Homo-oligomer: A and B are copies of this chain.
Amino acid sequence: MDSKDGDDHAAAQANRPATGQRATPQTTRLDLNRIRSAIPKIALVFRNTPQYACPALGEALDCEIILKLETANPVRCFKARGAETVMARLAEKPGSRSAVCASAGNLGLSLAWSGRSRGISVTVVAGASASPLKLDRIRALGATVRIVDGDIEDARQLARQLADTEGAFLVEDSENIDTCEGAGTIGIELIEDMGPVDAVVLALGGGAMATGVGHVFKCLAPEVEIVCVQPKGAPAMALSWRAKSVVETDRTDTIADGVAGRRPIPAVLSDLLAVADHVPLVEEESIIAGMRMLYRHAGLVVEPSAALGVAAMLEDRSRYRGKRVVTIICGGNVVPADFERWVIKPDGE
């Protein structure tokens, strides 16, 4: 962490335990024991995901890179860990047997899967630009899909209304602590079986994965640098982390639809301030270069959000040189035609 720049350091230091000591970052809403207790609630098919060094990619990036692969499951993304945690806890409660969420795809898909396996009806509210392919797969899992004229923030508003009027349980990604704690189980698996690492570089959207995994590392391995990456085209949470207070943006402009929020949630920002060491913003072309490297060197088809870590490494090679770095491949839901247009150039370049 020698290369940590001043601003980042100041923001992180305020909430960090003494270097090298195990400690609980008191300022987050998350709880390590609750994260551990989430593990058995998550269907086995989403747990113990592959985590392995990829020498070919490591050579290209001048470091040892460890991939944590969250795409080899029925919903092809990490969000099922959170959805499973939410729905398992919901199923234990008396009353509501329905749930609603706003989602551009992955949360909706995951919640639909979990709802079907537990007999809980699910409504997914999506913005107008959501991928029809993803929405079809959500419907195929038995969930109801509602489309709003607007983006994910407008969808969140309608989801809240539906929860109020219809009594459905509202699953707000990253605000609902179960979504963060479910994602945090990724961190437990990494710490238990991967040996020491220098940094974890992951995608930052609403903040569930960043705070979940970050909290686990700050509790169990606080010496590991937690790098949370956003696209320059959807920088609201990164700007908020830097300003230490919520910064909203008017619009997003990125291919990384999975992380494209505009209105950070204050409680999640507070958690992020406690666990993130460095929050870079990356260019769209770096995201595409990252997707291409993951395809060429690791044989992986990933969605743009899953390449944010590699994108950050490409833009700041010296920070990672010679280090042992984990990046979480958080989703593989990409339309083949998009993947080909972005990643496989016609001239074979």
CA distance A36 to B54 in the complex (A): 28
Segment at the interface with B among A252-260, A266-274, A296-304 = A296-304
A:322-349 near B, CB below 8 Å: 332-334, 336-337, 340, 344, 346, 348
Number of copies: 2
- Per-residue CB contact flags for chain A residues 40-55 toward chain B (1 = under 8 Å, else 0) read 0000110011111111
Query: Shortest distance in angstroms between A326's beta carbon and chain B's nearest beta carbon?
Result: 14
Cβ A344 vs Cβ B346 within 8 A: no
Tell me whether A296 and B74 are in contact (CB under 8 A).
no
Q: Please indicate the chain B residues that have their CB under 8 angstroms from the CB of A334 in the complex.
A: 299
Most chain B beta carbons < 10 A, residue from A44, A71, A72, A296: A72
By the criterion CB–CB under 8 Å, are B45 and A48 in contact? Answer: no
The answer to whether residues A299 and B45 also contact, given A337-B348, A340-B344 and a CB cut-off of 8 A, is: no
**8 Å CB contact of A55 from B48, B140, B296, B332:** B140
Distance between Cα atoms of A294 and B97 in the complex (Å) = 35
Q: Shortest distance in angstroms between A116's beta carbon and chain B's nearest beta carbon?
A: 11
**Contact assessment for B299 and A332 in the assembled complex, using a CB-CB cutoff below 8 Å:** yes
Task: Give the nearest-CB partner of A72 in chain B.
Answer: B50
A60 is an interface residue with CB less than 8 A from chain B: no
Question: A74 contacts which of B53, B193, B300 (Cβ < 8 Å)?
Answer: B53
The 9 tightest CB contacts between A and B, nearest first, are A50-B72, A299-B301, A299-B332, A45-B52, A69-B72, A52-B73, A296-B336, A52-B74, A53-B74
